Amino acid sequence: MQHLSVTHDNALNIRNLLITLRYDGSSFHGWQIQHNAITVQQVFQEAVAKILGSCPDIKGCSRTDSGVHANMFCISMKTDHPIPCERLVAALNSHLPMTVAVISVREVPLDFHARYSTLGKRYVYKVLNSQTRDPFLFGRALHYRRPIDADMLSKASKAFIGSHDFTSFCTLDKREIGDFVRNVSDFSVRREGDMVYFSVTADGFLYNMVRIMVGTLLFINEGGAAPDSIPEILKACDRAKAGPTAPACGLYLDKVFYDI
């Protein structure tokens, strides 16, 4: 893909800014604005309005759900305000809650879109695999007492890799219409002490796709399905054939990939 240079709309002196942030989703009802609940988008827009006087139309890279976290979340925003990027980082952080932090701001081409310009995303799901809970991980990892065979699950997860119809691994609602084919480039399960990490990279994700994939692998871990059953579940294109949906608390949007 050809790399584009940063350009301005000279007539209006418009800049397109790529804003990267991190957040703990425990106290938020997801990213997207809601009428009766606090969301990350709401507090971000309020912070922008305090600095710029109003909030331009912003584009988020994803639509994380209630309780889901982000190690990397990207926003694009066009503005004619002259504030330097480095000053905007500090200004935003002074107005955002402590559970949200802007990491960087930089100028990008005017046709860049935080969602539609993505090449792919990586999600990580964290599981505390221990008989005793850790209060410092409450709301930030799934506490799971049954022993996890990480090597077996990592081997089973490789069946997700490739281009597949993931109808069996998504929650169907009005947000999911059209093509359910996604290309998964990597899936791994690894243990570090009592923590088990499920990591998946793809060109796109369906609603609850990662949580259902993880829930299915944990179902396999419990003997509810065979380790080699994932290809058959994929072919069925039937949500009822897959395992349960893992809770939101362990899910992190870990990285967003762009060609800029």
Domain ranges in the chain are 15-108, 120-257
Closest to 218 measured CA to CA, from 163, 165, 113, 142: 142
Is residue 80 within 8 A of residue 15, CB to CB? The reply is: yes
Region of poorest pLDDT, from 92-101, 103-112, 169-178: 169-178
Active site residue 151: no
| Percent above pLDDT 90 for the chain | 90
| Percent above pLDDT 70 for the chain | 93
Catalytic residue among 65, 111, 186, 238: 65
Architecture of domain 15-108: 2-Layer Sandwich (3.30)
Is residue 197 within 8 A of residue 123, CB to CB? The reply is: no
If you count DSSP H runs as helices and E runs as strands, how many of each does the chain have, helices first? 5, 10
Fold observed for domain 120-257 = Alpha-Beta Plaits (3.30.70)
Q: pLDDT per residue over 66-83, tens digit each?
A: 999 999 999 999 999 999
111: amino acid identity, one letter:
D
Q: Do domains 15-108 and 120-257 have the same CATH topology?
A: yes
Closest to 19 measured CA to CA, from 104, 139, 122, 118: 104
Q: pLDDT per residue over 175-186, tens digit each?
A: 556 789 999 999
C-alpha dihedral sign at 109, 181, 124, 239:
positive
